[in-house]
Each structure stands twice: as C-alpha cells, then as structure tokens.
A and B are shown apart, each in its own frame.
Chain A
Amino acid sequence: MDLSTINPAVLLASLMVASTPILLAAIGELVVEKSGVLNLGVEGMMIVGAICGFAVSVETGSPVLGFVAAAAGSALLSMTFGILTQFFLSNQVATGLALTLFGLGLSALMGQGYVGIKPPAMGDLNLGPLGDIPFVGRVLFQHDVMVYVSLALVAAVWAFLKYTRAGLILRAVGESHDAAHALGYKVVVVRLAAIAFGGACAGLGGAYLSLIRVPQWTEGMTAGAGWIALAIVVFSSWRAWGVLIGAYLFGGVTVLQLNLQAAGLDVPVEYLSMSPYLITILVLVIMSSGRGRAALNAPASLGRSFHASH
C-alpha cells in the first residue's frame, strides 16, 4: 500500500464534494422533521431529482436548469407524500416507504434513454485570488457553485429556525400541533410547505450526484444516500450545524475509504465499501444512547398525524 499517493488537499476538497448531496438532502429533511413530519421517502425523492436534473440538463445543455428541474420535480413528488399524510392521514412511516419504492421505480422508468450519456459539465466557481491560496485555496475555493449553495442553505435554515417568526411557527407546529392549531396557525399548510422544501432539497442533492459527483445516470445510483441523510438528521439532534458536521463526517469516511481502495489497502474492496454504512450505524448508536440526548431533542409531534376535529 502506498499512502503517499493520497494528497491531503485533494482529499479534503473531494470530501466537500462527496458530502454535498447528503448535506442538501439532510438539511431539507431537518426542516421537515422540525415541522413534525417524518418523511422516509428521502431516498426516492433524491433519485427522482437525480434523473430529473440529469434529463433536463442533457436536453437543454444547462446544468443550472437541471438543478431547478430537479428541485421542482422532487418537490412535486413530495407532494404525493404531503397529500397522503396531511389530507388522507395515512401512516407517515408507510407512506415514506411507499415514496421511496415508487421513486426508485419511477426514476428507472424515466432514465431509460439516459444510460451511458455524459451530462454537460458545471464549471468551478471562479473566486479569483482566493483559489490561488496554497492548500486552503484548493480545499475551500475551487468548487462548483452548488457546494457553496449547500453551505448557504445550512446557514439560512439555521437562521430561519432560530431568528424568524415563521421559523418559530414551524417549530411550534412540530412540537405540539394541537397547541399550534389552537393558536390559529395552519398546521397542514405549514407542514405541506416544509415537505415541499424537503423534497426540493432532496432533489438538489440527487441532481448533484448525477450531474457533478458521479457524473452520469445509473439505476439506483443514490445507493442509500437518502437513508444516510435521515440518519444524519438524528445525528445532528435536529440542529442545522449538526447536520453540516454529520454530512462532512460521512463524506470524510466515504472519501477516505475510496482513497484507501485506490491506494491498494490490503482489505477486500467490499469491506471498505460497506464502511460508510457501518460507521453511520455506529454514530446512530452513540447518539441515541447516552441518556437519550438526541431523543430528547426530537420534535415532540414527530411522526404523528394531525386531525383537527373542529
């Protein structure tokens, strides 16, 4: 094994790229769960976003339009979940699973003609002299625009939840929908908006995978990224910056194991490939034990259906 082939600057830079899809999906799911809805369909929304973004950017030649389409497509798909859980009062766990199963099938269907095509490339953002700083420039300032969008989104969600009135209402709905309803807030409307936002974010994450990280379309290409995003929300104990840490931690593990594979570590490739999932489980265990710190922080109405009797 030759560890000297691993360049730390490249490693850290690719860590940011590897983390971005999960970060995008997880920050969206954070908002959804903060409103008291557990949407297990992240995986399905991500993969539909991946193919929507891919198809549109191939057809139009514009990655930006691809991302817009991915967000719109996944938000639309998430509305099936929203309508079912909010108006038809279906079980959120079962409906989320349905969304994932349906999304996987739908995306495979939509992606029929797009296997083996290369999408138009999205250039790195030119940040002028910042990109030329040794080491730091390579790690932080030579990325595509979506990396910075995802970071901005984390900051925006954090500020929204902490400082705005709308964020307060969203949290109130998530903690006690009956109390929020009694105060006159539209529980269902707030939750639908949160679900749509979560869908759009998951779509962006999926499109990031198919347009930038991989970049091509293959069936089932998200490979559990949506589920890891769900785990990261638990890891964060429902805090925006925690999501950032969790996603980058996961991205770090992914990139490290890929680099170890490339460097020829004397462990079968399959065992290295399973490490990100195992580490996610380990982290979940650590977070959920320890006197239930994470559990205490979960929105109190998480996963419960709301039915206004009058």
Chain B
Amino acid sequence: MIRLEKRPQPSRAWSYATPVLAVIVTMIAGGILFAVLGKDPVLSIRTIFWDPLFGEFAFYYRGQLLVKAGPLILIAIGLSLGFRAGIWNIGAEGQYIIGAICGAAVGLAFYPMEARWLIFPLMVIAGAVGGFLWAMIPAILKTRFNTNEILVSLLLVYVAEQLLASMALGTLRNPEGSGFPGSRNLQQYDSAANTELIAGTGMHWGVVAALLAVIGAYVLLNRHMLGYQIRLTGQSPRAARFAGVRPRLLVVFCLGASGALAGLAGLFEVAGPAGQISIDFNSGYGFTAIIVAFLGRLHPVGILLAGLLLALTYIGGEAAQATLGLPAAAIQAFQGMLLFFLLAVDVLTNYRMRFGRAEVA
C-alpha cells in the first residue's frame, strides 16, 4: 500500500530530476510504441535523439535544431509567465498565425522597395503587435466579462486558421503566382528576409529574439516587482490580492506578453524558414510550446533546454521518417506522451511516498 504525504515545501532536488526522469520514461514508452509499429525500438530512439547531433549527417541537422527551437522557446517563454500565475493562454498557435500575417502584410506592402533598415524592423513590430492584439481578445473578455480565457484563446485558433486561409487565397496572394495560393516569398525579397546570421548554424533573428526573451524573462521573474507578483499569484491568489496585486493588470500583461512573443515567432518564421504565407503555414508550434513550457518547469533556463529537446524530436522525427519510415504522427504522439509522463512524475516533487499500511488516525 503506497500513500502520498504532502511535502511542506516542494522538493528542490525532485523538481530538477523529474523532467529528466520524464524524458527517460518517455523514451522507454516511445520505444515500446515504435516496437508495436514494427520498428526497431533502440534504432528508432537513436535515430531521433542521437544521430541528429552526433551521427553521420549531423552537420545538416545541427543547423535545423536552432531553426525549430527558436519559435518553440519564444512562444514557451511567453506562455510560462501566464501559466505561473494561473492564466492559461493555450491559443498561442492563433497568435503565432496572426503575427505572421501582420508582419508579412507589412513586408509585402513595401514590395519591391529596397530599405532593409526600415522594412524589417517595421515587420518585427507589426508581428508583435498582431500577436499582442489577438491575445488581447481573451484578455479583455476575461477582465471585462469574466469569460474563460482557456476556451476563448483556443477557439480563436480556429478563427485565425480561417483568416490565414483567406489571406493566402485572397488578400496576400502573390499576384505573379499564376493563381496558386500563397503569398510572395519573403526570402527572395532582401529587405524583408529573415536571413541566417551565421551560415550553417540556423541562427536567425528569431533565435536571437528567443535568447533575449529567456534573459528578459529571467530578469523579470527574479529581479522585478511584476515577476514577483506573477509568482505570488500562482502560489496563492488570495495572498496576492492582500499584497496589492491587481489581478486584471496581471491577466492583460501575461496574455499580452505571450501573444506578442508568439506573434514575433510567427513573423520570424514567415520571413525566414517558411518564407511565405500559405494555407498550411502553421505547424503546431503553439501547441508544442505548451509541452516545452511545462518540461522546462516554467523556468526560463529550463525552457531553453526543453525547447532544444523538443526541437530535437522534430528533427529526429523527420530523420526517422526518412530512414525508418516512422510515421510523422508517431512523433506527435511521442510529444504528447512526454507531457503525460512529466505530469505523472511531478507528484514526487510535491508529495512524499510512504510505503506500508496506513495507521488508523
């Protein structure tokens, strides 16, 4: 008989150990899953986690790592602020799309003017503002009408997807694209392209922004009053109110910040790796970022590491798809499993296991 006993304080050691434990358990369970699919489990896990970094073609994959990790980290940092305070923005995917649309629209409006010093910064601002405004919809509905932000932000993802389709087929369609859906390719427009900064590394402005966001979030949470209020609200909303925290302001800030960061991620993606607004532009980064945020224990440095790990599963997943014929969906299920196991082993952080029969109180 196992009993759980609440710890007076969450265990520090376990809070570092649980994400690692969760990853290991997920690898084992994932191996079983891959074995069920008829693939060699050890080979599959090695193809996903080892070969992209140290294998034969690592020079190609390593560059991809930052390309995938950039948006994941950028979005997850924003989400983690709200998650800490119990404000659940789960519609980052929508804010990501709107950021991309706004940023790309600004860039395309200037086409074919040559003025990188003006156009690219304006696009960055438009991307952030787009994501911010999209996130303000659930924020204002929450503060003004007490509407559940989880449902509103999520439902807005589907609205954003329809908007994206409409933009790709209509307003932003390439006039010289002989009727094919999709906008002009921003990569071929020097003033708007989010180019690789150091050749072969995958380092682009989005990755720079992600690193800045990590540092910014760290400073905010540890050195700033607002960060303290966010942490306090998460731990005890009642105590926070007595301490003079204004909950509405916090809702607006947390949703706004995560929206702006998700919008930025969208802009850097559309101007860089993706290149254009197309119907299937979004690839689920907004949802995977939720896993990143939790796996990183909502801590900026943890998120940095978790983002790199999840990026690895994307890249390794593609590699496994190419070499082993592992279905793409297997990686999606694998990522979902990771969050499950993480939440399961998290019990060790907050509770102590006691073996033996419970005595009658």
Q: Which residues of A contact B (CB under 8 A)?
A: 40, 80, 84, 88-91, 93-95, 97-99, 101-106, 108-109, 111-112, 219, 223-224, 227-228, 230-231, 234, 268, 270-271, 273-274, 277-278, 280-281, 284-285, 288-289, 292, 295, 307, 309-310
Contact B166 A97 (CB under 8 A): no
State A228–B88 Cα separation when bound (angstroms). 17
Given contact pairs A88-B346, A88-B347, A268-B166, A224 touches B155 in the complex (Cβ within 8 A) = yes
- Residues from chain B with Cβ under 8 Å of A224 in the complex: 154-155, 157-158
| Prevailing SS type, chain B contact patch | helix
- Cβ-defined contact, A271 with B162, below 8 A: yes
Q: How far is the CA of A18 from the CA of B35 in the complex (A)?
A: 39
- B162 and A104: CB pair below 8 A? no
B336 in contact with A281 (CB, 8 Å): no
B219 contacts the other chain (Cβ, under 8 Å)?
no
Contacts of B333 in A (CB 8 A): 102, 105-106, 108-109
Q: Contact partner of A112 among B154, B329, B340, B350, CB < 8 A?
A: B329
Contact of A105 with B335 in the complex, beta carbons under 8 Å:
yes
- Distance in angstroms between the alpha carbons of A270 and B97 in the assembled complex: 15
B342 (CB) vs chain A CBs: closest residue: A98
* CB of A77 to closest CB in B, whole Å: 11
Query: Can you list 17 contacts pairing A with B, beta carbon distance less than 8 Å?
Result: A84-B343, A90-B347, A97-B290, A101-B336, A104-B332, A231-B151, A234-B151, A268-B170, A270-B169, A274-B159, A274-B162, A277-B156, A277-B158, A281-B147, A284-B141, A288-B146, A307-B6
Chain B contacts with A in 139-166, Cβ cutoff 8 A:
141, 144-148, 150-152, 154-159, 162-163, 165-166
User: From A310, which residue of chain B is reached at the shortest CB distance?
Assistant: B361
> Which of A91, A98, A223, A270 contacts B340, CB < 8 Å?
A98
Q: Are B159 and A277 in contact (CB under 8 A)?
A: yes
CB distance from B278 to the nearest CB of A (A): 14
| Minimal beta-carbon separation of B292 from chain A (angstroms) | 12
B195 to chain A, nearest CB (A): 32
Contact of A309 (CB < 8 Å), options: B6, B90, B347: B6
Interface hits, B36-87 → A, CB 8 Å: 37
Contact A227 B155 (CB under 8 A): yes
CA A224 to CA B157, docked complex, whole Å? 9
Contact assessment for A98 and B343 in the assembled complex, using a CB-CB cutoff below 8 Å: yes
Within 8 A of A (CB), among B163-209: 163, 165-166, 169-170
Report Cα–Cα, A227/B162, bound state, in Å. Answer: 17
> Once the chains bind, are A278 and B334 in contact (CB under 8 Å)?
no
Identity of the chain B residue whose Cβ is nearest the Cβ of A81 in the assembled complex: B340
B88-A93 in contact (CB<8A) = yes
Most B Cβ at <10 Å: residue of A89, A98, A309: A98
In contact, A93 and B329 (Cβ under 8 angstroms): no
B291 at the interface (CB under 8 A from A): yes
Chain B residues in 8 Å Cβ range of A278? 159
Chain B 329-357 per-residue mask, 1 if CB under 8 angstroms from chain A, else 0: 11111111101100110110011000000
Interface range, B side: 35 or more
Of B88, B145, B291, B332, which contacts A108 at CB under 8 A?
B332
Inter-chain contact A284/B148, CB cutoff 8 Å: yes
A-B complex: 5 closest residue pairs judged by Cβ atoms: A102-B336, A105-B332, A108-B329, A105-B333, A270-B166
Interface flags, B304-323, vs A, CB<8A=1, else 0: 00000000000000000000
**Chain B nearest CB, measured from A283 CB (Å):** 10
Cα of A251 to Cα of B41 in the assembled complex, Å:
45
Q: Are B151 and A227 in contact (CB under 8 A)?
A: yes
Beyond A109-B329, A224-B154, 19 additional contacts (C-beta under 8 Å) are A88-B343, A88-B346, A91-B343, A95-B340, A97-B290, A97-B339, A98-B343, A105-B331, A105-B336, A106-B329, A108-B329, A109-B330, A219-B329, A270-B165, A274-B158, A284-B141, A284-B148, A289-B147, A295-B146
A98 nearest in chain B by CB position: B339
Interface residue B112 (Cβ < 8 Å from any Cβ of A): no
Contacting residues, chain B, for A228 (C-beta < 8 A): 155
B100-139 interface code vs A (CB 8 A; 1 in, 0 out):
0000000000000000000000000000000000000000
Name the distance in Å between B342's Cβ and chain A's nearest Cβ.
8
Of A40, A90, A106, A109, most buried by chain B (CB within 10 Å of CB) is A109
Q: How far is the CB of B335 from chain A (nearest CB, A)?
A: 7
Residue of B nearest to A273 (CB): B162
A89-B351, A108-B329, A288-B147 known; A102+B155 contact, CB < 8 A? no
